[in-house]
């Protein structure tokens, strides 16, 4: 992994190509090489030439259709004056041809729409090349991994001895990678969630408990479809998806609405259960609490003005919130700048926050912070009116506040004691009824 400035501050010059975020067809038409390079850098499959070809066919059809409609209108006026057989015949001919052309237009527009959904947002120039987390750029570290004076246990052994998690009965009831959090384990998760939520409320975030089921339009609008079908649980009978993050319902909250510019920026803390198939994770990170099908999360979501500087400011703000949460818990972490292949479809830039997990002897991802500009708002048609009356698409951002039970891995392992007990971080004790240590017991 590369390294950059780990002294404690992240560079403010995150984005240098501010004009290349408008991914409408006009932008693709005028900047095909820029879009092709984004496809290459993010390692996606997207045929830009096919999009331009479909766009050309669509424009030609529209011109032909408009020409025929204009002719039909002229002939209709003449027909009222003199009902000549040749005029009537031509009107019928135009009607039949229009029906054929309009059918072709609908087919081409549907194909163009699908291919447009595959076009990734343009990554910032600072985003490093690469296709895996090994290619991410190290930006900052905080805290020192604990040195143990005894042989430390992993979170599975700790949780089993303290009766915090029951995987066997979770599998019996629901299948692999489901679980029961029990007793102090359940209280510990609720305490972490409330602790993180209180920090965000203090910083101006409105708490929102979001729906867990969303329409396909919400998944498509936020960029989780059409590429994310394998990761999402779909309820065919109701045509609804189980959301993998509250980002999906929260960003879709304002779909097809015009916001008051004076209300921006808006900050939300989405509280939800999240569901993911983790279809591509077979044999990888499937043991324990790291990669599960269901988990709880508080997600930071921001709507702000269509201004790259404002987006940059909000990005740093929500990243700082996550750091505050982890520092309060006393858990060592690092921040990396995700390479192109680790950025998703909507991201211009993404920072990953990785917390030290002793049993893995490594930093592992627990949060991710994304700046998206108007990629999602264009899909969802979320706008605001400028002072001059112009309608403009908002910018959106998101970042994990906290996600559990994954965060329990570093917490249990970092605070374990030789006798099998676990010290509760001081900031969580008020939420645990004053309990300071979880000890083995009946």
Catalytic residue, candidates 365, 370, 379, 413: 365
Label each residue of the chain as H, E or C.
CEECCCCCCCCCCCCCCCCCCCCCHHHHHHCHHHHHHHHHHHCCCCCHHHHHHHHHHHHHHHHHHHHHHHHHHHHHHHHHHCCCHHHHHHHHHHHHHHHHHHHHHHHHHHHHHHHHHCCCCCCCCCCCCCCCHHHCEEEEEECCCCCCCCCCCCHHHHHHHCCCEEHHHHHHHHCCCCCEECCHHHHHHHHHHHHHHHHHHHCCCEEEECCCEECHHHHHHCCCCCCCHHHCEEECCCCEEECCCCHHHHHHCCCCCEECHHHCCEEEEEEEEEECCCHHHCCCCCCCCCCCCEEEEEEEEEEECCCHHHHHHHHHHHHHHHHHHHHHHCCCEEEEECCHHHCCCCCCEEEEEEEEEHHHCEEEEEEEEEEEECHHHHHHCCEEECCCCCEEECEEEEEEEEEECCCHHHHHHHCECCCCCEECCHHHHHHHCCCCEECCCC
Task: Note if 69 is an active site residue.
Answer: no
Catalytic residue, candidates 334, 379, 383, 406: 406
Catalytic residue, candidates 311, 368, 370, 421: 368
Catalytic residue, candidates 276, 334, 379, 383: 276
Catalytic residue, candidates 291, 360, 378, 429: 291
Task: Note if 58 is an active site residue.
Answer: no
Task: Note if 276 is an active site residue.
Answer: yes
Active-site amino acid positions: 276, 291, 365, 368, 406
């Amino acid at each position: 992994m590369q390294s950059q400035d780990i002294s404690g501050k992240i560079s403010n010059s995150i984005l240098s190509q501010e004009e290349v975020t408008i991914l409408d067809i006009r932008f693709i038409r005028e900047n095909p090489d820029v879009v092709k390079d984004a496809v290459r850098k993010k390692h996606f499959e997207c045929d830009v030439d096919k999009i331009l070809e479909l766009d050309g066919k669509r424009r030609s059809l529209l011109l032909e259709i408009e020409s025929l409609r204009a002719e039909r209108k002229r002939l209709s006026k003449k027909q009222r004056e003199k009902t000549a057989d040749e005029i009537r015949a031509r009107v019928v001919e135009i009607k039949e041809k229009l029906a054929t052309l309009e059918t072709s237009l609908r087919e081409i527009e549907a194909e163009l729409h699908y291919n447009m959904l595959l076009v990734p947002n343009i990554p910032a120039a600072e985003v490093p090349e690469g296709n895996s987390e090994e290619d991410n750029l190290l930006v900052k570290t905080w805290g020192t991994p604990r040195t143990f004076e005894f042989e430390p246990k992993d979170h599975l052994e700790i949780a089993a001895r303290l009766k915090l998690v029951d995987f066997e009965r979770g599998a019996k009831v629901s299948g692999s990678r489901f679980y029961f959090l029990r007793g102090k384990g359940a209280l510990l998760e609720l305490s972490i969630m409330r602790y993180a939520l209180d920090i965000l409320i203090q910083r101006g975030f409105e708490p929102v408990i979001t729906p867990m089921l969303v329409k396909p339009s919400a998944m498509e609008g936020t960029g989780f479809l059409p590429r994310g079908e394998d990761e999402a649980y779909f309820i065919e009978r109701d045509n609804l998806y189980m959301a993998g993050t509250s980002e999906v319902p929260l960003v879709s909250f304002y779909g097809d609405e015009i916001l008051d510019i004076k209300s921006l920026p808006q900050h939300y803390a989405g509280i939800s259960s999240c569901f993911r198939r983790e279809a591509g994770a077979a044999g990888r990170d499937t043991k324990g609490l790291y990669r599960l099908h269901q988990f709880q999360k508080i997600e930071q979501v921001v709507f702000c003005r269509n201004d790259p500087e404002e987006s940059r400011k909000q990005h740093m703000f929500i990243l700082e919130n996550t750091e505050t949460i982890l520092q309060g818990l006393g858990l060592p972490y690092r921040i990396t700048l995700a390479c192109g292949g680790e950025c998703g479809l909507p991201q211009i830039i993404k920072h990953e926050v990785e917390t030290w997990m002793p049993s893995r002897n490594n930093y592992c991802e627990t949060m991710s912070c994304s700046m998206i500009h108007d990629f999602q708002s264009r899909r969802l048609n979320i706008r605001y009116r400028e002072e001059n009356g112009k309608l403009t698409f908002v910018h959106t951002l998101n970042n994990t506040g906290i996600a559990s039970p994954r965060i329990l891995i570093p917490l249990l392992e970092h605070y374990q004691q030789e006798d099998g007990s676990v010290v509760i971080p001081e900031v969580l004790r008020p939420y645990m009824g004053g309990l300071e240590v979880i000890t083995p017991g009946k």
